[in-house]
Amino acid sequence: MPVAEQVLLRSVTMWLLLQSLLLLASCLRSAAAFPKGCYPSEEEGLKTFRCSNARLTEVPRDIPNDTNKLYLDSNRIPFLPRDAFRDLPLLLELDLSHNAIASVESGAFRGLAEHLHSLDLSSNRLVSVGKDAFSNLKAKVNLSNNPWRCDCRLQELIRTVDLAAGSSGGIVCDSSAQEEHVGKAFLQVIADTDFCNVYKKTTDIAMLVTMFGWFAMVISYLVYYVRQNQEDARRHLEYLKSLPSKQRRSEESSTISTVV
């Protein structure tokens, strides 16, 4: 083989080896940046990032920003802070089921409104969540198997979100102001009870009671004031009667004109 061909072959071989080493180093560096138990993959043409059963206690920060499907299920995440997923503009599916989530801050899903179509929050520890936490979110949301408190706040939340098909029956009252609601599906309960209307009536009654109390206090003060003045006038007249007649007539006239 000519020397020139040998040199060219060696150059190509070295170039391919160098490229392989660079690719391997890049993969190792990316893998090292991910939390333990998390890994990227591609499923049905969608970029997926899986962190299932990874013992996570918070939402990872080093998730690739081109992720389409994110699985954070079966971990120990206790709450979702504001802007937890703001760097994932292409996210389509988000699975947060089987965690310990008890709180969702307003703005936790900010930036996901345009593309997200599936959000799973089932089997967590949600008791009460403000409707603002899901503001502008168009995704199908699964809220089943949480220890919900059935009240006006939950009623407003259910009216705000688009529940995933078949998940509504799993939203059950774990607690409620009315004991008969406990253990029943929330949608079954609100078919007969408007929690927000009951709350409004209670507030109106409390306001009326407060106003009546203030009115009663004002009337009581006026009655006391009139009686006190009458008593003072009576005592003064009795005092005048004890004075000599000339001085008494003069002061009686003055007292009567003052009272009138």
Q: Are residues 110 and 214 in the same domain?
A: no
- Half-sphere exposure (CA, 13 Å, Cβ side) for 95? 15
Measure the CA–CA gap between 108 and 96, rounded to whole angstroms.
Answer: 13
d(CA 58, CA 62): 12
Phi, psi of 37 (to 5 degrees): 95, -5
What pLDDT score does 236 carry?
Answer: 60
- Domain for residue 210, yes or no? yes
Phi-psi region of 116 (alpha: psi -120 to 50; beta: other; left: phi over 0): beta
Tokens representing 44?
Answer: 């049905």
Residue 237 has which token pair? 């007249």
pLDDT digits (tens, 9 = 90+) for 114-150: 899 999 999 999 999 999 999 889 999 999 999 999 9
Q: Which pLDDT tens digits describe the chain residue by residue (260 residues)?
A: 565 555 445 565 664 555 554 444 444 444 446 888 999 999 989 999 999 999 999 999 889 999 999 999 999 999 999 999 999 999 999 999 999 999 999 999 999 988 999 999 999 999 999 999 998 899 999 999 999 999 999 999 999 999 999 999 999 999 998 999 999 999 999 988 999 985 444 444 445 445 545 555 666 666 666 666 766 666 666 665 665 655 545 555 554 454 44
Distances, alpha carbon 112 to alpha carbons 19, 49, 128, in Å: 37, 16, 22
Distance CA 98, CA 52 (A): 10
**Euclidean distance between CA atoms 134 and 130, whole angstroms:** 8
The verdict on residue 102 lying in a domain is yes
103 and 184 within one domain: yes
Q: Is 38 exposed, middle or buried, given 0-12, 13-18 or 19+ CB atoms closer than 10 A?
A: buried
Strand-strand pairing, 46-50 and 93-95 = unpaired
Query: Quick one: 173 and 221 in the same domain?
Result: no
Whether 84 and 139 map to the same domain: the answer is: yes
CB of 129 closer than 8 Å to CB of 107: no
Judge if 123 and 101 occupy the same domain. yes
How far apart CA 143 and CA 169 sit, in angstroms, is 10
Domain that holds residue 207: 194-232
Residues 35/60, Cβ–Cβ less than 8 Å: yes
> Measured between alpha carbons, how far is residue 18 from residues 9, 22, 255 in Å?
14, 6, 117
Based on the structure, what is the number of domains in the chain?
2
Q: To which H or E segment does residue 162 belong?
A: strand 162-163
On whether residue 247 sits in a domain, the answer given is no
Mean confidence (pLDDT) of the chain: 80
* One domain, residues 51 and 41: yes
